[in-house]
Amino acid sequence: MTRVAVLQMTTGIDPEANAGVITDAVAKSAGEGAEMLFTPEMSGLLDRDRKRAASSIVREENDPVLASVRECSARHGIWTCLGSLAVDTGEGKWANRSFVVDPSGQITARYDKIHMFDVDLATGESWRESNAYRAGDKIVTLETPIGRLGLAVCYDLRFPALFEALGNAGCDAIAIPAAFTVPTGQAHWHILQRARAIEASAFVIAAAQVGSHEDGRQTYGHSLVVDPWGEVLLDMGGESAGLQFARIDTSRVENARSQVPSLANRRVIAN
């Protein structure tokens, strides 16, 4: 059994304040015996005003939130899966990038969100992530205290091929940090998270943004931990930010795969 911590946030437009929330969670998680902390998408800055946000989005090596998390993770000896930060790629667009930081403060993995959130909702909300962000193009997995961890971000959740690839890569768990809108969250969040866990026969750990943000948006919350059988082990609700814990038993992965070996039974379907 491995204890993990999940941070649900209401990230604002001040990176320094957001860094303080994360580093406080790093310290508390280590103090409560967690071996790994998971944070949401856009943990360091959530600002739909891209002109205002631009002054705070810098190259990875200059990012103060990342630097703070690395230092704090090393000080407390804990893994941190930093859901994502907006980083400057130096190529005219930003990246929505996840980081995994080990207990020595080293970055052991980076993942750039592959699927851009370009949608028009019935509520009148319109989002064009691809206008400012460059999409990633590769899956990322790594060894962690909870086995092989695969990385995804938010809108990636809707694309089964990514999770088939992560399942085929032997992932025991998949991180899916998010900042889901309220309408899409109410309709699809729980269903899709449980489906991805079942399809990949892996744990899903989905740290989420929640509530009313400084930039005017509303996010759905309900950070989840789901086991490989689709059972919800943790649901943090949609009301407030906070830190909660769950236990990951990796024997559940082999148990699920031995009962329903869907990854092994999968066939290529011709067009």
Tell me which residues are annotated as active site. 41, 113, 154
State which amino acid sits at residue 210.
Answer: V
Beta-carbon count within 10 A of 88 CB: 16
* Terminal-residue alpha carbon distance, the chain: 43
Contact 3, 33 (CB under 8 A): yes
251 burial level (CB within 10 Å; 0-12, 13-18, 19+): exposed
CB atoms within 10 A of CB 271: 2
Query: Residue 162: phi, psi to the nearest 5?
Result: -65, -40
